[in-house]
């Protein structure tokens, strides 16, 4: 599942690929992903140009010159490509947006949990559908003090807090596991038991790991690909996610299902 670094990589690639390109044709080959795709055909996109592409949470948001935004989420298996018209359509490429440079924006999603809609801007300049989501982990608002305050009175495990999009958005399963390992905090710990020092460490490590993952073009675990089809390189740098032994102490790792997602941790190094 594409997480924040992958969405950031996709948004940066799309920014280069879409900027100043005019839309010449829209084709929809399947009725719906998470929401219906037919409205894309009636959105009056032909003749509009892209101004660029940005990321918010795990969404890529491509700005149009009429103030609206093509908003996309990659679900479990969404892949975006921008390729020449001559490349044949792949089986699960559900939407084609033809561009004035002869290339085609293609949205592929075999499992169809993705999202692709034209949205109006809300008051904050982001799509209306993204209102009410939490702070960006790489922003100045995400501090140890912020996390400490957010954790007070919360009985759920710290892993669920770190992955709660209403608190901080875009830290998914892989990066939550890596962040808590680097911070020496067990994912099972009750959030309200975190100390301020531990919150500082979690925030510091989350930012460092996310930045490093962005530099690597994200993590390819199964389906994820960058816009150019390349794999993310961060998988080679994972320390705890999916590991059998701890890279620090060689103790066998432990697995637990927290909030419906499998978590790896070292029972020796994380408490």
Is 36 labeled as catalytic in the residue annotation? no
Q: Which residues are bridge partners to 121 per DSSP?
A: 127
**CB of residue 5 vs Zn ion: minimum separation in angstroms?**
24
Binding site for Zn ion (CB under 5 A): 246, 248-249, 251, 266, 268-269
Q: Minimal CA–CA distance to 169: which of 142, 203, 134, 141? A: 134
Is 108 labeled as catalytic in the residue annotation? no
**CB of residue 202 vs Zn ion: minimum separation in angstroms?**
17
**CB of residue 183 vs Zn ion: minimum separation in angstroms?**
13
Catalytic residue among 3, 6, 108, 198, which?
A: 3
For Zn ion, the closer of residues 46 and 249 by Cβ is 249
For Zn ion, the closer of residues 52 and 267 by Cβ is 267
**CB of residue 233 vs Zn ion: minimum separation in angstroms?**
24
Cite the active site residues. 2-3
């Amino acid at each position: 599942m594409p997480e924040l670094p992958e969405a950031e990589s996709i948004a940066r690639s799309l920014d280069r690929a879409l900027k100043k390109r005019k839309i010449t044709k829209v084709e929809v080959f399947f009725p719906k992903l998470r929401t219906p795709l037919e409205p894309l055909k009636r959105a009056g996109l032909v003749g509009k140009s892209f101004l660029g592409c940005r990321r918010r949470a795990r969404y890529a948001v491509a700005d149009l010159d009429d103030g609206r935004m093509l908003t996309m989420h990659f679900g479990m298996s969404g892949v975006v490509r921008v390729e020449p018209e001559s490349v044949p359509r792949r089986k699960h490429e559900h939407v084609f947006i033809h561009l004035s440079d002869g290339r085609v924006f293609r949205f592929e999603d075999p499992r169809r949990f993705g999202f692709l809609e034209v949205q109006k801007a809300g008051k904050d300049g982001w799509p209306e559908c993204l209102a009410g989501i939490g702070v960006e982990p790489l922003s100045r608002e995400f501090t140890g003090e912020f996390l400490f305050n957010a954790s007070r009175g919360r009985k759920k495990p710290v892993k669920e807090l770190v992955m709660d999009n209403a608190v901080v958005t875009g830290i998914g399963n892989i990066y939550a596991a890596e962040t808590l390992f680097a911070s020496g905090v067990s994912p099972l710990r009750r959030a309200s038991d975190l100390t301020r020092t531990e919150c500082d460490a979690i925030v510091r490590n989350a930012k460092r790991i996310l930045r490093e993952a962005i530099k690597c073009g994200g993590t390819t675990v199964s389906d994820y690909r960058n816009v150019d089809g390349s794999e993310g390189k961060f998988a080679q740098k994972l320390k705890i996610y999916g590991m059998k032994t701890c890279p620090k102490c060689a103790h066998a790792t432990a697995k637990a299902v927290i909030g419906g997602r499998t978590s790896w941790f070292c029972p020796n190094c994380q408490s």
